[in-house]
Chain A
């Protein structure tokens, strides 16, 4: 009886601990300021809306924070600083299911390209649906949406060292 109560208590505290865990995106690696971005942080940053052709073949509008903005906040070499050896840096985006996609920093930088890749947290004024959100990378202009990955949890910046 006592054991059962104890087990119940354990389960209960375990469950509340789980419920309290807020989703977040961690920015780490070659950064001067590692970041942990919660939903409310993203809402306070510079935001933009881009369009993406999804698997259904239709264009959908996504709103969120340009990846470049996030990299700048983390102190990653962007803009004028993106030259020399910094051109061999990459961003690895990791998702909750373990899926990973990679970009060279130049692919994401407004001094190299007009394409704006964003970390989206809403579409059509709504939070992203379960299974895709809360954070989705949106990479406009690609033939297939395989890098527009769901449930982003980590953005890791490193040097390619080979």
Chain B
């Protein structure tokens, strides 16, 4: 009886509090060649204080049922926000059904997760926070726990204009922080900006990545860019890349219910790819060499295999090495050591 009364009083108090200073808006920037097809919801503008709060929440273990796990347990900066495991364990020790995804350049991703089931970073964040086998705690409990911790009331006030701590604000702050995770300083970026001269092998790798094999014109290519193409090495597409004849995980089909989506998964971004092993939605390939071997000679025909992968590539040893050299160009060391994305609790 007393508790609801107290809560009501608190609500009234916050409502009457003078609106403090307005959080300072932040303009995110990226190279022109990324294009501006970004997804920035009007209802959650990115602000300095929102980002600072989101970063803290990303590393906050109180958001899990055991107080032992944060987003960063699975999404570790040094590994381009992955954890090197085939399947990561949730707070309760149960393994995730799919491989942890790398987090970078999420502004350009419209459908999140391997099957594209979340339409925004705000919506996405609810899943890891509340899923039984991930952080396993309701947003209401998370909000109540944060209320009791020092500093959060002030941080929420600065980010959102009032003391109230809610699930909605938690996911909004997390999303703001994630939107700042822009990786654009790999050697490939530097090459695109005219600041880096690629080696012969890297240069051949770039050509192979973009080109298709055409016996008539005598060109050799690996055709990767059909799906992973463009300077972001990402396109917002779903494909079946021939991993299995009968996919154990139906992927996109589970969301759309359409037979033609069976075994289709979101095309993964390749930035920082050398840091995010193991590979594919089920982490089946331990290294990039195995990935290249897959595309070169082990693509498995199945009813929904992408039309772009019908012909085996049969790359030579040298071509494989060149492609590998290109994939290694995509590592952005500045991104994985950027103090703005690091654990803020280490500094306290």
- Nearest B residue (CB) for A132: B307
- Nearest B residue (CB) for A21: B257
Does A96 make an interface contact (CB < 8 A)? Answer: yes
A10 CA / B303 CA spacing, docked (Å): 25
B307 touches A96 (CB 8 A): no
Does B66 make an interface contact (CB < 8 A)? Answer: no
A18 touches B257 (CB 8 A): yes
- How many residues of chain B get a CB closer than 8 Å to chain A's CBs? 22
A151 touches B257 (CB 8 A): no
A99 CA / B308 CA spacing, docked (Å): 13
Binds A, one of B1-9, B232-240, B337-345: B232-240
A99 touches B237 (CB 8 A): yes
Does B179 make an interface contact (CB < 8 A)? Answer: no
A23 CA / B257 CA spacing, docked (Å): 9
User: Could you tell me the distance in whole angstroms from the C-beta of B334 to the nearest C-beta in chain A?
Assistant: 30
Does A150 make an interface contact (CB < 8 A)? Answer: yes
Does B260 make an interface contact (CB < 8 A)? Answer: yes
- Nearest A residue (CB) for B111: A98
A20 proximity list for chain B (CB < 8 A): 257
User: Could you tell me the distance in whole angstroms from the C-beta of A138 to the nearest C-beta in chain B?
Assistant: 16
User: Could you tell me the distance in whole angstroms from the C-beta of B216 to the nearest C-beta in chain A?
Assistant: 10
Select one of A17, A96, A98, A99 contacting B260, CB under 8 A.
A96
User: Could you tell me the distance in whole angstroms from the C-beta of A149 to the nearest C-beta in chain B?
Assistant: 11
List residues 190-216 of chain B with CB under 8 A from any CB of chain A.
none
A21 touches B256 (CB 8 A): yes
A18 touches B253 (CB 8 A): yes
B185 proximity list for chain A (CB < 8 A): none
B157 proximity list for chain A (CB < 8 A): none
A21 touches B111 (CB 8 A): no
B237 touches A96 (CB 8 A): no
User: Could you tell me the distance in whole angstroms from the C-beta of B252 to the nearest C-beta in chain A?
Assistant: 8
B257 proximity list for chain A (CB < 8 A): 17-18, 20-21
Select one of B236, B250, B254, B256 contacting A96, CB under 8 A.
B256
B236 proximity list for chain A (CB < 8 A): 98
User: Could you tell me the distance in whole angstroms from the C-beta of A24 to the nearest C-beta in chain B?
Assistant: 9
A23 CA / B262 CA spacing, docked (Å): 13
B258 touches A97 (CB 8 A): no
Does B169 make an interface contact (CB < 8 A)? Answer: no
B residues whose Cβ falls under 8 Å from a Cβ of A: 111, 116, 235-239, 250, 253-254, 256-261, 264, 303-307
Instruction: Give 14 new A-B contacts, CB below 8 A, not counting A20-B257, A96-B238, A98-B237.
Output: A17-B257, A18-B253, A18-B254, A19-B259, A21-B256, A23-B258, A97-B238, A98-B111, A98-B235, A98-B238, A130-B260, A130-B303, A131-B305, A151-B260
- Residue contacts A-B, CB under 8 angstroms, 18 given: A18-B250, A21-B257, A21-B258, A23-B258, A23-B260, A96-B264, A97-B237, A97-B238, A97-B239, A97-B306, A98-B111, A98-B116, A98-B237, A99-B237, A130-B260, A130-B304, A131-B304, A151-B260
A residues whose Cβ falls under 8 Å from a Cβ of B: 17-21, 23, 96-99, 130-132, 150-151
